[in-house]
Structure 1
Amino acid sequence: MFNIPAITWTLTAALLLGGSYHALQAARSRQHTDRVNNILHALMNILMAAMLWNLAPTTMLAQIAVLAAAALWFTIQAVARPEFKTLCTTAQGQLKCAYHALTMAGAATMLALMTHTPTHAPANQTAEATAEGMPMPMPASHHGITSAQVSTPDTTAAAVAGLGHTPALLLTLVFTAAAATFLTLILHHRRTATTGTHHASARKRTTRTEHALEALGATTMALMSVALIT
Structure 2
Amino acid sequence: MIRVFEIPAVSWALTAVLSTAGAYHLYLAARARQATDRINEALHALMHAAMAAMIWNLAPAALLAQIGVLAAAALWFTLQAIARPEYKLLCTGAQGRITCAYHAATMAAAALMLTMMNTPTTGPGTTTSGTGTTATGTTGMGTTGMPHMKMGSMDMGSMPMNHHTTTAGTGAGNPLTSLFTHQGAPALILAILFGAAAITFTTLLLRRQPTTGQAKHHTKHNNRTKHALEATGAATMALMFATMTA
- In the alignment, what sits opposite 1:4? 7
| Root-mean-square deviation over aligned CA pairs | 2.5
* Structure 1 residue 46, shift from structure 2 partner: 0.2
Corresponding pairs, count: 201
Q: Distance in 2 between matches of 1:177 and 1:200?
A: 28
Classify the secondary structure of the residue corresponding to 2:57. Answer: coil
Q: Distance in 1 between matches of 2:179 and 2:32?
A: 43
Cα distance in structure 1, aligned partners of 2:181 and 2:7: 24
1:79 counterpart letter in structure 2: I
Q: Deviations over 1:125-147 (max 9, x none)?
A: 8xxxxxxxxxxxxxxxxxxxxxx
Consecutive unaligned residues in structure 2, runs of 5 or more: 122-131, 143-165, 173-177
CA contact 1:116–1:160 (8 Å) conserved in 2:
no
Question: Match for residue 178 of structure 1?
Answer: 197
The answer to whether the Cα contact below 8 Å between 1:15 and 1:45 also exists between their aligned partners in 2 is yes
Hey, what does 2:79 align to over in structure 1? 76
1:43-72 Cα offsets, whole Å, 9 max, x none, are 000000000000011111111111000000
Specify the alignment match of 2:46 in structure 1: 43
**Distance apart, 1:161 and its partner CA:** 6.3
State how far apart, in whole Å, the 2-side matches of 1:56 and 1:151 are: 29
Unaligned runs of 5+ in 1: 126-149
Identity percentage of aligned residues:
53
Query: Does 2:216 align with 1:200?
Result: yes
Q: CA deviation at 1:199?
A: 1.3
- Relative distance call for 1:206 and 1:120 in structure 2 (3 A) is same
Aligned residue for 1:62?
Answer: 65
Match of 1:111 in 2: 114
Distance (whole Å) between structure 2 residues aligned to residue 123 and residue 228 of structure 1? 24
DSSP 3-state at the match of 1:228: coil
Query: Are 1:222 and 2:241 an aligned pair?
Result: no
CA contact (8 A) 2:133 2:141 kept: no
Q: CA deviation at 1:171?
A: 1.2
Q: Could you tell me which residue of structure 2 aligns to residue 101 of structure 1? A: 104
- On the 8 A contact 2:116/2:180 being kept in 1, the answer is no
Which of the two has greater strand per residue? Answer: 2
Which whole-Å CA distance do the structure 2 matches of 1:151 and 1:199 have between them? 63
Q: Structure 1 residues 94, 161: closer, same or farther in 2, change over 3 A?
A: closer
User: Which structure has the highest helix share of the two?
Assistant: 1
